[in-house]
Structure 1
Amino acid sequence: MAHIPDMTSESPARHAVDAAIAETGLAIETRELPKLERTVARALAPGQDRVDAATFRAALCAVRRKPWGSRLMDLTRRAGEVWVTRADTEAAAATIDDPEPDDASLLRALGEVVRARLRATAPTPEAALETIRADLFDGTGRVLSPAETETLSRAVAAAFGLDAATGFVEAVRRTADARQEEQDAIEQAARARRREEVRRLREWEDSLVAFSEVPRLLHCSQKEALRWIAENRLPVARRVPQPNGTERWEFDPRELVALRARLPEWRGGLPGVATPLVPDPGTRKVGNAVIARVAALDRYAAHFKTARALKRRITLVTGPTNSGKSHTALEALARAESGMALAPLRLLAHEFREALTARGVPTSLATGEERIDIPGSRHLAATVEMCPLHNPVDVAMIDEAQMLSDPDRGAAWTAAIMGAPARHLFVLGAPDCIPMVRRIAELCGDPLDEVHLERKGPLVTASEPVRLQDLKPHDALIAFSRREVLDLRAALLARGRRVAVVYGALSPEVRRAEAQRFNDGEADILIATDAIGMGLNLTIRRVIFTALRKFDGTQTRDLNAQEVKQIGGRAGRYGKHEQGVVAVLAGAGSASFIRAMMAAPPAELADLRPQVQPDADIIQAVAAEIGSESLFGVLARIRRAVLRPDDPNYRLANMEQAFAIATALEGVSGLSLAQRWVYAMCPVDDRDNGIQRLIHWAADHAAGRPVVPPGPGRLPPPDRAERIELERAEKRHKRLVAWRWLSLRFPDAYPAREDAEDATARLNDWIEDVLRQQSSRSRAGGEEPRPGQPPHAPGRGHRKGGGRNGNRGGKGPPRHSVSGR
Structure 2
Amino acid sequence: MSKALSTQSTGRPATGAPTTGAHGPPNRGRGVTAVLGPTNTGKTHLAIERMLAHEVGVIGLPLRLLAREVYEKVVAKAGAGQVALITGEEKIKPPRARFYVCTVEAMPRELEADFVAIDEIQLAADGERGHVFTNRLFHARGTSETLLLGAATMRDAIRELLPGANLVSRPRLSSLTYAGEKKITRLPRRSAIVAFSANDVYAIAELVRRQRGGAAVVLGALSPRTRNAQVALYQNGDVDYLVATDAIGMGLNLDLDHVAFAGVRKFDGHTHRNLTPSEIGQIAGRAGRHMNDGTFGVTGQAQPFDAELIERLETHSFDQVGVLQWRSRTLDMASIEALKESLREMPIHPRLTRSRMVDDVIALENVTRDEAVCDMAKSPAAVGLLWDMCQIPDYQRVSPADHADLVGALFGFVMSDEGKIPEDWFARQVAQADRTEGDIDTLSNRLAQIRTWTFVSHRAQWLHDPEHWQERTRSIEDKLSDALHERLTQRFVDRRTSVLMRRLRDKEEMMAEIGDDGQILVENHFVGRLDGFRFTPDAAGEGIHGKAARNAATQILASELAQRADALGSAATMRSRCRAMAASCGRAARSAGWWRATRP
Task: Give yes or no for contact 2:157–2:322 (8 Å, CA) kept in 1.
Answer: no
Greater strand share, structure number:
2
Q: How does 1:129-528 map to 2 (within 5 A)?
A: 296-299=21-24, 301=26, 313-360=31-78, 362-422=82-142, 423-442=144-163, 447-462=164-179, 464-528=180-244
Amino acid at match of 2:155: I
Q: Choose the corresponding residue for 1:543, options 224, 247, 259.
A: 259
Distance 1:774 1:618 in 2: 49
Distance 1:650 1:543 in 2: 34
Structure 1 pair 295–726 and aligned structure 2 pair: CA distance change class (3 A): farther
The equivalent residue for 1:654 is 356
Distance 1:734 1:580 in 2: 35
Task: Give yes or no for contact 1:343–1:398 (8 Å, CA) kept in 2.
Answer: yes
Amino acid at match of 1:638: S
Post-superposition CA distance 1:402-435 (Å, at most 9, x none): 1010011111111212222302111110111112
Distance 2:237 2:189 in 1: 8
341-350 vs 597-606, which moves further: 597-606
Distance 1:498 1:761 in 2: 24
Amino acid at match of 1:451: V
Task: Give yes or no for contact 2:117–2:149 (8 Å, CA) kept in 1.
Answer: yes
Distance 1:552 1:435 in 2: 26
Per-residue deviation, 1:691: 3.0
The equivalent residue for 1:715 is 436
Amino acid at match of 1:681: Q
Distance 1:328 1:508 in 2: 24
Structure 1 pair 601–696 and aligned structure 2 pair: CA distance change class (3 A): same
Per-residue deviation, 1:747: 4.2
Tell me whether 1:557 sits opposite 2:557 in the alignment. no
Q: Choose the corresponding residue for 2:447, options 708, 733, 752.
A: 733
Q: How does 1:44-83 map to 2 (within 5 A)?
A: none
Please give the secondary structure, in 2, of the residue aligned with 1:740.
helix
The equivalent residue for 2:570 is none
Distance 2:320 2:50 in 1: 31
Post-superposition CA distance 1:412-464 (Å, at most 9, x none): 1112122223021111101111122223323xxxx3112111111111111x3
Distance 2:410 2:311 in 1: 49
Please give the secondary structure, in 1, of the residue aligned with 2:138.
helix
Distance 1:403 1:537 in 2: 19
Task: Give yes or no for contact 2:190–2:241 (8 Å, CA) kept in 1.
Answer: yes
Distance 1:387 1:776 in 2: 39
Please give the secondary structure, in 2, of the residue aligned with 1:553.
coil
Per-residue deviation, 1:543: 0.3
The equivalent residue for 1:680 is 390
Per-residue deviation, 1:384: 0.5
Distance 1:364 1:771 in 2: 32
Post-superposition CA distance 1:200-230 (Å, at most 9, x none): xxxxxxxxxxxxxxxxxxxxxxxxxxxxxxx
Task: Give yes or no for contact 1:560–1:597 (8 Å, CA) kept in 2.
Answer: no
Q: Give TM-score, length-normalised by structure 1.
A: 0.52
Distance 1:662 1:468 in 2: 45
Amino acid at match of 1:330: I
Structure 1 pair 484–691 and aligned structure 2 pair: CA distance change class (3 A): farther
Query: Percent identity at matched positions?
Result: 28
Q: How does 1:585-604 map to 2 (within 5 A)?
A: 585-592=299-306, 595-599=310-314, 601-604=317-320
Please give the secondary structure, in 2, of the residue aligned with 1:407.
coil
Please give the secondary structure, in 2, of the residue aligned with 1:618.
coil
Distance 1:440 1:647 in 2: 9
Per-residue deviation, 1:702: 3.4
Post-superposition CA distance 1:132-177 (Å, at most 9, x none): xxxxxxxxxxxxxxxxxxxxxxxxxxxxxxxxxxxxxxxxxxxxxx
Task: Give yes or no for contact 2:435–2:480 (8 Å, CA) kept in 1.
Answer: no
Distance 2:492 2:280 in 1: 31
The equivalent residue for 2:575 is none
Distance 1:775 1:546 in 2: 18
Q: How many residues align?
A: 452
Structure 1 pair 676–685 and aligned structure 2 pair: CA distance change class (3 A): same
Structure 1 pair 454–496 and aligned structure 2 pair: CA distance change class (3 A): closer
Task: Give yes or no for contact 1:498–1:525 (8 Å, CA) kept in 2.
Answer: yes
Q: Choose the corresponding residue for 1:693, options 385, 401, 406.
A: 406
Task: Give yes or no for contact 1:499–1:774 (8 Å, CA) kept in 2.
Answer: no
Task: Give yes or no for contact 1:312–1:425 (8 Å, CA) kept in 2.
Answer: no
Task: Give yes or no for contact 1:710–1:732 (8 Å, CA) kept in 2.
Answer: no
Gaps in structure 2 of 5+ consecutive residues? 1-18, 495-542, 545-600
Amino acid at match of 1:424: E
Q: Choose the corresponding residue for 2:415, options 702, 705, 711.
A: 702
The equivalent residue for 2:6 is none
Distance 1:333 1:324 in 2: 14
Please give the secondary structure, in 1, of the residue aligned with 2:85.
strand
Q: Choose the corresponding residue for 1:643, options 346, 349, 357.
A: 346
The RMSD of aligned alpha carbons is 2.7
Distance 2:177 2:358 in 1: 41
Per-residue deviation, 1:742: 2.3
Structure 1 pair 693–320 and aligned structure 2 pair: CA distance change class (3 A): same
Per-residue deviation, 1:550: 2.0
Amino acid at match of 2:139: G
Q: Choose the corresponding residue for 2:483, options 726, 751, 766.
A: 766
Structure 1 pair 649–528 and aligned structure 2 pair: CA distance change class (3 A): closer
Structure 1 pair 296–775 and aligned structure 2 pair: CA distance change class (3 A): closer
Task: Give yes or no for contact 1:458–1:579 (8 Å, CA) kept in 2.
Answer: yes
Q: How does 1:561-576 map to 2 (within 5 A)?
A: 561-574=277-290
Structure 1 pair 686–757 and aligned structure 2 pair: CA distance change class (3 A): closer
Gaps in structure 1 of 5+ consecutive residues? 1-293, 303-307, 624-628, 778-786, 789-821
Distance 1:511 1:413 in 2: 25
Distance 1:649 1:565 in 2: 24
Please give the secondary structure, in 2, of the residue aligned with 1:715.
coil
Per-residue deviation, 1:359: 2.1
Distance 1:551 1:685 in 2: 17
409-418 vs 751-760, which moves further: 751-760
Distance 1:438 1:611 in 2: 17
Amino acid at match of 1:452: S
Distance 1:502 1:602 in 2: 27
Post-superposition CA distance 1:106-149 (Å, at most 9, x none): xxxxxxxxxxxxxxxxxxxxxxxxxxxxxxxxxxxxxxxxxxxx
Task: Give yes or no for contact 2:325–2:352 (8 Å, CA) kept in 1.
Answer: yes
Q: Give TM-score, length-normalised by structure 2.
A: 0.70
